[in-house]
Every structure is written in structure tokens, then in C-alpha cells.
């Protein structure tokens, strides 16, 4: 099987899972206590008002019919209208998504820039003071909540020393880089800690492998060994880890956007919860699920490209 | 004649088990947090909820080591009482997932076939959702609060334990002692619970420690966002949220509970790593 059919097959594999995901989100919203109509109309709604509201929203039809309508609309890019903002959910998500994507990508880049060199240093200086210091720093990073790191950075670097803006997103690309630096660092630090922990172990393992011994025996320069053999393997495990942690990254984005008042989908999610805006919550949950599935596929493909040992079956 | 000497050898090797300093540090940290959680009224110098308008926003001093908040409440006392809420969060976000996930993992690993296929599909679906997003979505539907948070986390969290135990059982059930059990005609439940699980449960127990730290991180994050414990409950995330508007003028309100979360997280990690070392088969 060649690479292309592998990619197509990987995409096809996701489709049934995704239908179940849609069904799950749909029925979860409808079966749990607290129905959308009473939420829209407020606590003082009468039975008659709720019945009329249900009819308007199509909630009086059998559940299975409602689900069919829901799936049909989904594939037309129609996720319903936001109750509070009175605009299509799809448009709302489309508007806010670039901010969140920018933030998460930025955070991932910062995480890699932090984790890769530091893991190399830690692994090469194994069991020295430097190693312990780096590991200690990241252990703290793993144990500290994202919102707390954000709050401290915001206060010290933003408000007290006025080095960075304390909110907003900016207009141009470079302004985005500037405005989102602290949020991306906040989010990236946590990911860096996860990457670092595994990368250090991966590098140590590679350093002790036979092919590195062989490369040394051949008399290759150590910079070449590190660059060609060790780095390649380190990158493979980083890609896999990144895929595994994309969910955590999105969750972290929800919190980071709330701390830094960034107008992305994460903040939209939290706002929608307090506004009991069910269509938005439902649309966002689905969108996040799509994003995670796509990332899984993407990391699998990149992994298969990088690592010749991966069997394409 | 040989039997007594064997026993003696065993006891002497047991007394020789040396606890690593990191494990001791973990035990001390988590031990003190448990004491704070059990008898906060004995440990805390002041009430966590009493307002004192004579002592509003006071910086850390001998009288108030962590300072006071905008209502004059002693921050140290609130952090100590917070241990009670956050240790409960650590326990109740992980207890059901640990027990249920272990059972499911043992069953699917042992019986395989259709049970395993169903479990595999559930895993596929659950990993598609970002954990925090799913928990937030469920909390959004059930309404904010600690109990709903426990339900939301439990609904998702058992998956990890299930996968861990399933993998272990898969390797253990091929071992000779398991086959011997089957040849002896033991029932499946006896083989699973008496023979396989004791050898398969270590990774799950170690992960449980890490998971408790994750539980506190999650619980305090939801508390901070207003979706977890509700004010005036002294939960660490809630205290941080209370103090966030005073960060530039009274940094101590939010800073100390944040350090408490961090220390708790480090404590659980040390405990988990230490247990992993202790429980790892020697040789």
C-alpha cells in the first residue's frame, strides 16, 4: 500500500467515529436535565410558551428526526443560531477560530523551541546539576495550573514591568506575535514540560542504541551523530507526543483565552456556558472533535513519513 | 528445615528496603495536606470565612503569614481550609475512574473479542474530545458545582485506567502462572482478581497518583473559571480568582493558593515516581 492510500484510509477510518461523536453530542445536549427552550425563555416561562418555543426550534419532533435534521444541517455548515448573539454559530466559530489556531500554533512553536534544546542539554549532561535544574523547572511547570502561570506572567511582565500588552489580539501578523507572546508562553510552557519529560528519555535511549555506537565507531563527528540520528528520533517522538496532547492544548487554550481576554473560540466556549447558549456549546464541542481528529490523522501521516519502521497497513 | 530460613531471608530483605529521599518528600507533602484536610480547624490560625474589616488587604506579616484578602480574611487559613476541598477533588475525581477503569480493563483484557472491540470504539470516541472541553461541556449542561464536576470527570477519566490495565492483563494472561490457573480449573474471576490483577495493577496505581495531581489542576481551573466549587468555598482556584483583581496591589491573595496547588502537584508526582520504583519488580 502506498502513502496516498494510507492517507485516504486513515481519513475514512475517522468517518464512523465521527458519526458516533455527532450522535453523542446531539443526544447529550438533549437528554441531560435543563432543556434549551426553558434556558432561552428564562425561569418565568409558562408551559404554553415552552411548547411554542419547542415547536419553533423543531424540538417537538421525534429525536431521531431531529438528529437527521441536525446531521443534514451540519454538512451544509449550519450549526444553528446562537441564542444570545443571534448570529449563525458557524460564522461565529469561523470568526473566532483563527485567533485560537494562531495561539495554539504559536504555543507549540515556543514549546518546541524550549523543550528540544533543553532536553538535549539535560540528556547530554545527565545526572548533573544542569540536568536536575532543567528537570526541576519543568516539574514545576507540570504542577502549576495554566491559569496561574498566565496570571503571574500577566501581572509581573504585563502590568508591573509593562513589557507586554495585557490583553487583546492586535491587527497585523506581527502585532499578533507581540500581543499573544505571554498567552502563547503560558500555554507553551505546559506543553514544553510534557515534551521535555519524554524527549529526555527518548534521547537517552537513542544515545545508548547500537546504531549510535556504530556511528561513533565509524568515527562520525558527534555533532553529525546528534543532528542526524538523535534529532531525527527526537522529532519523531515529539510529533507523536504533540498529537497525543493536542486535546490538552485546546483545553489549555480555553483557560488561557479566559485569563488574557483573547477573543478566540475558547473564551467563546466559557462565555456560552455562562450564557447557557446551547447551540454554541454544541457547535464548539463538535468543532473541537473535528480538530482533534484531523490532528490525529496529520500526526499519524507525519509519523509514517518520518519513521520508516511504521508499517502502513 | 529449609522453610524457616526462607522466611527469615524474606523478612530481612524487607527491612532492608530503603525509601528514596524523593519518596519521603512526597509522603511528607501529601501527608501534611491530608492532615490539613482532615483537621483544618486545628491547623488554621483563623476562620476561613470570618470578615475582619479592621484588617483588609494586609501584606504578609507575623500575624498573617500569607496576608489578608479584601474582606480581611486570613489567606493562610483559607489556603489550609482549601486543602480540604482540593484533596476531596483529588480523591473524588479519580476514585471512580480508578475502580471502574481497572475492572473494565481487566475484563476486556481477559475476555477480548467483542468486549474488547466495544471498548476500543469507546476509546476512539472519547480521545476525539479534548478532555477539558468535554468536562466543561458536561458541567455546562449539568450546571456548575463540585458534584457535577465529579460526574463529568468520572464519565471520561476511567478510560485511561482501562487502557493501562487492559494492556497489562494482555501480557500477564499469557504468563505461565495464568495458564496454570486455567489448567487447574479455577474460575475466571479467581484468575483475574487473585492472580492477574495483583501483577497488572501497578501502572494504574502509579498513574492514580499523577491523576490526583491532574484532578487538582482541573478542579482549580474550573473553580477559577467559576464552573467548579462556588465562592465563598475556600477552594484554591476560587481563592486565586477572588484575588486576581488585586494582583498588582495585593499579590499575596492569589500567589499563595497557586503555590499550594503547585506543591500538591509536586507531592503527588514524587509519590507516584517513588511508588513506581518500589513496586517495580526487582531483578
A63-122: pLDDT as tens digits? 888 888 888 888 888 888 887 888 899 999 999 999 999 999 999 999 999 998 898 899
The model's pTM is 0.86
pLDDT digits (tens, 9 = 90+) for A184-229: 999 999 889 888 888 888 888 888 877 778 877 887 777 777 777 7
Confidence of residue A38 (pLDDT cuts 50, 70, 90): low
Subunit contact B133:A285, Cβ cutoff 8 A: yes
Taken as a whole, chain B contains a residue count of 283
Is residue A1 pLDDT above 60, yes or no? no
Which residues in chain B have Cβ-Cβ distances shorter than 8 Å to A34?
A: 141-143
Q: Confirm whether A96 is domain-assigned.
A: yes
Question: How many separate domains does chain A show?
Answer: 2
CATH number for the domain spanning A279: value is: 1.10.3720.10
- Asked whether the beta carbons of residue B130 and residue A246 sit closer than 8 angstroms, the reply is yes
Comparing CB atoms, the residue among B133, B143, B261 nearest residue A254 is B133
> ipTM value of the model?
0.86
Is position A102 within any domain?
yes
Q: Is B246 on the interface with A (CB under 8 A)?
A: no
Q: Based on the fold, state whether residues A219 and A180 are members of the same structural domain.
A: yes
The alpha-carbon gap from B154 to the nearest alpha carbon of chain A, in Å, equals 16
Residues in chain A: 313
Question: Does one domain contain both A224 and A109?
Answer: yes
- β-partners of residue A81 are A88
- Domain of residue A63: give its range: 18-75
The residues with which B74 forms a beta bridge, in sequence order, are B68
Q: Which residues of B touch A25 (CB under 8 A)?
A: 137
| pLDDT number for residue A219 | 78
Tell me the chain A residues in contact with residue B237 when contact means C-beta distances shorter than 8 Å.
145, 147
Phi, psi of B233 (to 5 degrees): -50, 135
A110 and A161 both lie in a single domain: yes
Query: Has residue A4 been placed in a domain?
Result: no
**Cis bond leading into A10, ω under 30°?**
no
Residue A175, domain member (yes or no): yes
Residue A260 lies in a domain: yes
* Closest chain B CA to residue A159: B248
Query: Where do the domains of chain B lie, and which CATH numbers do they carry?
Result: 75-283 (1.10.3720.10)
Separation of alpha carbons B102 and B201, rounded Å: 8
Q: Is A6 among the domain residues?
A: no
For chain A, helix, strand, coil in percent to 5 are 80, 0, 20
- Contact call for B221 and A147, based on CB within 8 A: yes
User: Which residues of A, range 59-118, sit inside 8 Å of B by Cβ?
Assistant: none
* Chain B contact for A252 (CB, 8 A cutoff): yes
Q: Looking at the structure, tell me whether residues A60 and A97 fall in a common domain.
A: no
Would residue A10 count as lying in a domain? Answer: no
Distances (CA, A) of A292 to A19, A138, B104, B153, B254: 15, 25, 25, 19, 33
Final residue belonging to a domain, choices A10, A45, A75: A75
| Whether residue A166 is found in the same domain as residue A240 | yes
Q: How far apart are CA A104 and CA A295, in angstroms?
A: 12
Whether residues A107 and A145 fall in one domain:
yes
Q: Is residue A106 part of a domain?
A: yes
Nearest residue to A155 via CA among A186, A193, A189, A192: A186
Amino acid at each position: 500500500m502506498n502513502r496516498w492510500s494510507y492517507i485516504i484510509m486513515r481519513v475514512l477510518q475517522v468517518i464512523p467515529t465521527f458519526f458516533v461523536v455527532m450522535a453523542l453530542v446531539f443526544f447529550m445536549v438533549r437528554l441531560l436535565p435543563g432543556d434549551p427552550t426553558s434556558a432561552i425563555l428564562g425561569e418565568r416561562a409558562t408551559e404554553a410558551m415552552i411548547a411554542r418555543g419547542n415547536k419553533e426550534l423543531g424540538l417537538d419532533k421525534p429525536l431521531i428526526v431531529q438528529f437527521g435534521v441536525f446531521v443534514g444541517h451540519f454538512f451544509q455548515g449550519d450549526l444553528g443560531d446562537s441564542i444570545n448573539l443571534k448570529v449563525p454559530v458557524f460564522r461565529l466559530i469561523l470568526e473566532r477560530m483563527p485567533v485560537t489556531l494562531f495561539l495554539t500554533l504559536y504555543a507549540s512553536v515556543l514549546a518546541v523551541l524550549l523543550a528540544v534544546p533543553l532536553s538535549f542539554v539535560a540528556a547530554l549532561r545527565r545526572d548533573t546539576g544542569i540536568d536536575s535544574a532543567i528537570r526541576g523547572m519543568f516539574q514545576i511547570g507540570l504542577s502549576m495550573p495554566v491559569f496561574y502561570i498566565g496570571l503571574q506572567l500577566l501581572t509581573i511582565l504585563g502590568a508591573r514591568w509593562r513589557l507586554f500588552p495585557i490583553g487583546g489580539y492586535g491587527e497585523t501578523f506581527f502585532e499578533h506575535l507581540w500581543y499573544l507572546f505571554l498567552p502563547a508562553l503560558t500555554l507553551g510552557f505546559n506543553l514544553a514540560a510534557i515534551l521535555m519529560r519524554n524527549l529526555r528519555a527518548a534521547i537517552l535511549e537513542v544515545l545508548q542504541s547500537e546504531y549510535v555506537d556504530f556511528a561513533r565507531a565509524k568515527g562520525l563527528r558527534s555533532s553529525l551523530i546528534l543532528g542526524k540520528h538523535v534529532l531525527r528520533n527526537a522529532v519523531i517522538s515529539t510529533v507523536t507526543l504533540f498529537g497525543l496532547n493536542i486535546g490538552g492544548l485546546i483545553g489549555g487554550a480555553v483557560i488561557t483565552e479566559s485569563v488574557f481576554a483573547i477573543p478566540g473560540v475558547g473564551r467563546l466556549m466559557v462565555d456560552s456556558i455562562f450564557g447557557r447558549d446551547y447551540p454554541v456549546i454544541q457547535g464548539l464541542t463538535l468543532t473541537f472533535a473535528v480538530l482533534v481528529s484531523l490532528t490525529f490523522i496529520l500526526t499519524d501521516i507525519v509519523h509514517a513519513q518520518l519513521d520508516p519502521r511504521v508499517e502502513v497497513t | 528445615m529449609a522453610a524457616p530460613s526462607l522466611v527469615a531471608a524474606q523478612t530481612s530483605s524487607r527491612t532492608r528496603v530503603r525509601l528514596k529521599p524523593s519518596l519521603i518528600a512526597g509522603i511528607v507533602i501529601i501527608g501534611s495536606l491530608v492532615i490539613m484536610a482532615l483537621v483544618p480547624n486545628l491547623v488554621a490560625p483563623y476562620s476561613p470565612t470570618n470578615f475582619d474589616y479592621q484588617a483588609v488587604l494586609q501584606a504578609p506579616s507575623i500575624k498573617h503569614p500569607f496576608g489578608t484578602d479584601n474582606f480581611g480574611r486570613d489567606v493562610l487559613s483559607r489556603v489550609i481550609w482549601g486543602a480540604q476541598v482540593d484533596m476531596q477533588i483529588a480523591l473524588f475525581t479519580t476514585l471512580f475512574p480508578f475502580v471502574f477503569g481497572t475492572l473494565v480493563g481487566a475484563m476486556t483484557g481477559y475476555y477480548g473479542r467483542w468486549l474488547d472491540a466495544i471498548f476500543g470504539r469507546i476509546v476512539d470516541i472519547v480521545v476525539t474530545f479534548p478532555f477539558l472541553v468535554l468536562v466543561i461541556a458536561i458541567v455546562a449542561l449539568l450546571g456548575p458545582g463540585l458534584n457535577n464536576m465529579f460526574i463529568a470527570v468520572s464519565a471520561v477519566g476511567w478510560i485511561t485506567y482501562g487502557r493501562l490495565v487492559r494492556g497489562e492483563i494482555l501480557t500477564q494472561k499469557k504468563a505461565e502462572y495464568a495458564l496454570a490457573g486455567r489448567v487447574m480449573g479455577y474460575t475466571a474471576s479467581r484468575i483475574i482478581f487473585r492472580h492477574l490483577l495483583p501483577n497488572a495493577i501497578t501502572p494504574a496505581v502509579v498513574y492514580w497518583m499523577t491523576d490526583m495531581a491532574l484532578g487538582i489542576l482541573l478542579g482549580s481551573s474550573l473553580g477559577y473559571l467559576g464552573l467548579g466549587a462556588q465562592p465563598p468555598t475556600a477552594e484554591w482556584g476560587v481563592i486565586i480568582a477572588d484575588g486576581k483583581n488585586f494582583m498588582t496591589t495585593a499579590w499575596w491573595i492569589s500567589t499563595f493558593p497557586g503555590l499550594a496547588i503547585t506543591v500538591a502537584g509536586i507531592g503527588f508526582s514524587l509519590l507516584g515516581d517513588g511508588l513506581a520504583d518500589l513496586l517495580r519488580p526487582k531483578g
